[in-house]
Amino acid sequence: MQPLATSVPVAVIGAGAMGSGIAQVAGQAGHQVFLLDQREGAAEAGRQSIANILQRRVDKGKMEQADLDALLDRIKPVNELKELAEAGLVIEAIVEDLDIKRSLLADLEALCGDNTILATNTSSISVTALSAEMQHPERLVGMHFFNPAPLMALVEVIKGLATSDDVAKCVYATAGQWGKKPVTATSTPGFIVNRVARPFYAESLRLLQEQTTDSATLDAIVREAGGFRMGPFELTDLIGHDVNYAVTTSVFNSYYQDTRFLPSLVQKELVEAGRLGRKNGQGFYSYTEGSQKPEPATVASASSEADTLIVEGNPGPLAPLVTRLSECGLNVIERDGPGRLQFGDAVLALTDGRMATERAAAEACNNLVLVDLAFDYTKASRLAIASAEQASAQAVSDASALLQKAGIAVSHIADRPGLVIMRTVATLANEAADAALHGVATVSDIDLAMKAGLNYPEGPLRWSDSLGFSLVHQVLTHLQQSYGEDRYRPALLLRKNRFAEKGFYS
């Protein structure tokens, strides 16, 4: 299916940050754009906002003045709905209210030609529900941009139950022509991103509630070990806790209170206290003038007399860390064993989803120190560790000293199942696998959505494959055993792959 020709006008209804951003994207692709908002003067203000933002690029020599002038000529603020009649694609980006959107869609059906595609930028309302009262529901499609629309690459193309394949394919191709990375999804709660991303926030919120460590340390671990652009607490402060909590609650209720999406009491309390994040100066952190973000908890320089690293068996995902440590002047000895490292009194192993205390008892290894997952052990600047209650102080010191030799900051957190990055990646992969199983989107589109929409360092299903077909399943099984909750039940597709000894891409 071909994309819309640039000679076809596009209309955008709603001139807020999202609507004006979509208008900018369509205008930069060469379309004439009609920009409408019911608030008096809002459409003109939206166009001016585009001008102000891009003028700064012109002033810095990153854009030609002639190109900006031409773009602004293509964006036309209008005052009445009837002025959108000639548009070939109408994108509504108005308030998230089912009845208001349905009323607008009814007016558009009466106004626009039969071949006009109607698109909704909704982030949470079912496209199927929106189209239920339309005369021609096949012409409605979701076109979910991410804020800021000119900068964020992802567009979720959402098919409602009645959406025409040709309409969805045309919008998909058009988004690609506009320089975006489109993915196709079915109209299920949260679509791809807002569903699959829930564990990114939920697991750190739970760890905070369990007093594992503080928010600044969890954020630092997620960034510096996990490779994520922002930690969950600074990100929710940026999004706004009212917004993030509302999305979580909506997904939770839409899935009939499935515990996988259980909202956090910690975040609920912030919302009730009016601590919404950056928008009003206080969330997990203070944003008032002169305030400083807390420093993450970091182990001070640890002492160890050890100079020999013993590698017992295949270290699995820790192999890159072993390589990094071996380049620090240590004497390295390799021998058969269960895939653990010994340094001084410490026995180090990658977390498998159990608490260190539980695993130490099961494996008769008192001085066990568990190491968290990292996206790239060769570049990670921080790692989380958790020690068994049985471990000696010297074992913990030896483990910390070993990692510090490689220039890695160490955060010694309370002993909780799965530590931080491992349980986050495992639960993200689990939700992604469940979405793939239910046909929400393909495996590759799910991974692309999480990378392009949220800047994840890797798609969760690709990341799961890189850890081996069984590790994520093992971690989830241990988490479920530790908590006794359905929240961590392994998705059926992930479980099948584990026993088939295959990955999502093999």
Q: How many CB atoms lie within 10 A of CB 170?
A: 20
Q: Cβ(156)–Cβ(120) under 8 Å?
A: no
Closest Cα partner for 155 from 145, 164, 163, 165?
Answer: 145
Q: Cβ(384)–Cβ(419) under 8 Å?
A: yes
> Which member of 121, 194, 215, 400 is catalytic?
194
The partner residues of 218 in beta bridges, in order of sequence, read none
DSSP 8-state code for residue 491: P
CA 103 to chain centre: 32
SS3 158: strand
Contacts of 137 (CB under 8 A, 6+ apart): 131, 160, 161, 162, 163
The partner residues of 140 in beta bridges, in order of sequence, read 118
Structure tokens at 473: 């399943």
Q: Cβ(395)–Cβ(347) under 8 Å?
A: yes
Structure tokens at 86: 């000639």
503's enclosing H/E stretch is: none
Tell me the C-alpha distance between 271 and 266, whole Å.
Answer: 9
Q: Cβ(411)–Cβ(384) under 8 Å?
A: yes
Q: Is 439 exposed, middle or buried (0-12, 13-18, 19+ CB in 10 A)?
A: exposed
Which residue type occupies 464? S
Q: Which residue has the tokens 């001070």?
A: 300
391's enclosing H/E stretch is: none
Which residue type occupies 389? E
Tell me the C-alpha distance between 30 and 347, whole Å.
Answer: 62
DSSP 8-state code for residue 301: P
Q: Is 476 left (phi over 0), alpha (psi -120 to 50) or beta?
A: alpha
CA 20 to chain centre: 24
Tell me the C-alpha distance between 149 and 133, whole Å.
Answer: 29
Q: Cβ(133)–Cβ(106) under 8 Å?
A: yes
> Which member of 109, 121, 126, 156 is catalytic?
156
> Active-site residue 478, yes or no?
no
> Active-site residue 438, yes or no?
no
Contacts of 360 (CB under 8 A, 6+ apart): 366, 367, 368, 388, 389, 390, 391
Q: Cβ(460)–Cβ(432) under 8 Å?
A: yes
Tell me the C-alpha distance between 22 and 119, whole Å.
Answer: 12
Which residues are designated catalytic?
A: 123, 144, 156, 194
